[in-house]
Structure 1
């Protein structure tokens, strides 16, 4: 049994299929299929029930899944502890972040890390996801926190932190409804280059309707302020609406549209200080990572 077999198996279960797992891990699907079959052969049991639409774990698969996730989590913890014992958590880390972080309390997380590792200097910059990923690729940022979109550049790794969902914001005197009912009405959004703007533009194209952005804001809080003032409607991550702010109507998006998971993104080569901060963020989010997902 090899570690990558457990990583691939966990990803197939988590994603609900080989194709999605291959896309998520940025690994060729035949490689994932071959390793899972080899794992089943070595164990002498069928781990996955395969249908034309979805893959689900068998009873034996459920039992292995629990242990696999425990092993992968312990491995991540061991790496972090080894780094601390070696006293390598020194240096500087630049973190890029969007305004959508799920339930992660970033100021508290950074404060806790700095208190534990005073030898590390942490810098923080905020921006739109496209620009932050450019910084990450160029080496101007060590980590990026925010929604994980599938079109991220090659070579960027991901550890998911939490799930999120997309909601429709309206002024309080407006009801929700299907997005097609809002065709032609003014929308509020983040600027071009944000993941939210890509979601909105993609929905407009898929539904074949005009969802025009008449007002832009630089942050989710700014979007909410404009909607509360009656200037338009908006799509927003549910976690961003959970923060204190002016009253708005919050409705389910019809048709239902997923929001990318929130995660920590990083390059294949990172400094010891950046690895220590990444582990700290993962632990603070209460996430037991199922392996590093390569793009």
Structure 2
């Protein structure tokens, strides 16, 4: 049995005759008839009932066509998979990521993705979410990884990946050692934070307002890591993501804030711009693998 025989047989059934099947396949009608006869001979049964106007399936033909159609569908899917793979291997993925990624181990994920697609181009840009989203809008990035804030514009599509938490940090041995789990305990402290316009700055000001005070932000920096360095040096306290507080770095005191929530960490794309095959492969790869390398969202 040959693949072309299945293709010819399927075309005859779908078009209702040998002539139309030949026209659709750009093959002479006698050649199709000859291959169908060979197929019937090999199977030892008649598949098609022929008359002067139209051919129809015998009962054996109906059973065989159902199986043949599934086989051809699988072949089409395999071809599509290979075409997709070829597109991925020829492409590149431009990724933007904030420094706060929770338990998402991006370096591990990128290395695994590169091993899977060694010929694919990868670029990574780090920055604040506002800047990265502007780059996404401008076509400079394909995807952005970072906190998914509640006020994210509907022009974006966000896929949550891992949870994140908020904690208060202070210098080692600070008086907040008897902290009761409330941000209000730090109302008289100077704060270190990301600049105005950042998600963390907004979270701090809103959380402080809910606790009945306006935070005195004396030091602003563009890096969560430098927030920790400034706090460790004794220049203030800070509200930061739990992953940033527990990452390697200078020692700080960490105070849980169970009543405050941090936006989930996820992947953000522009709704109106379809992903390239390479970027789509990265999105799907990250979604599948995150459960084995991070604490996924249930």
- Taking structure 2 as the reference length, the TM-score comes to 0.65
Counterpart contact for 1:83–1:276, Cα < 8 Å: no
**Residue in 2 that maps onto 1:213:** 217
**Residue in 2 that maps onto 1:257:** 260
2: distance between equivalents of 1:163 and 1:128?
19
**Residue in 2 that maps onto 1:50:** none
**Residue in 2 that maps onto 1:187:** 191
Post-superposition shift, 1:238?
0.8
The alignment partner of 1:286 has SS state of helix
Post-superposition shift, 1:206?
2.7
2: distance between equivalents of 1:140 and 1:153?
18
1: distance between equivalents of 2:87 and 2:296?
22
Task: Classify 1:238/1:289 alpha carbon distance in 2 versus 1 (closer, same or farther; 3 Å).
Answer: closer
**Residue in 1 that maps onto 2:86:** 87
2: distance between equivalents of 1:111 and 1:83?
23
Q: CA RMSD in A?
A: 2.4
Counterpart contact for 1:147–1:263, Cα < 8 Å: yes
Aligned length: 210
**Residue in 1 that maps onto 2:161:** 161
Counterpart contact for 1:189–1:217, Cα < 8 Å: yes
User: Which has more radius of gyration?
Assistant: 2
Post-superposition shift, 1:289?
9.1
Give unmatched runs, 5+ long, in structure 1: 1-77, 291-295
The alignment partner of 1:88 has SS state of helix
Post-superposition shift, 1:208?
3.2
**Residue in 2 that maps onto 1:107:** 107
Aligned residue runs from structure 1 range 61-80, under 5 A: none
Task: Classify 1:84/1:194 alpha carbon distance in 2 versus 1 (closer, same or farther; 3 Å).
Answer: farther
Counterpart contact for 2:208–2:215, Cα < 8 Å: yes
2: distance between equivalents of 1:86 and 1:244?
38
1: distance between equivalents of 2:83 and 2:216?
51
Counterpart contact for 2:168–2:256, Cα < 8 Å: yes
- Taking structure 1 as the reference length, the TM-score comes to 0.66
2: distance between equivalents of 1:283 and 1:216?
37
For the pair 1:200 / 2:199, whether they are aligned, the reply is no
In the TM superposition, what whole-angstrom CA distance separates every residue of 1:148-168 from its partner, at most 9, and x where no partner exists?
Answer: 101112221111111111001
Indicate which of 267, 282, 287 corresponds to 1:282: 287
Aligned residue runs from structure 1 range 44-55, under 5 A: none
1: distance between equivalents of 2:122 and 2:203?
31
**Residue in 2 that maps onto 1:141:** 141
The alignment partner of 1:187 has SS state of strand
Counterpart contact for 2:205–2:214, Cα < 8 Å: no
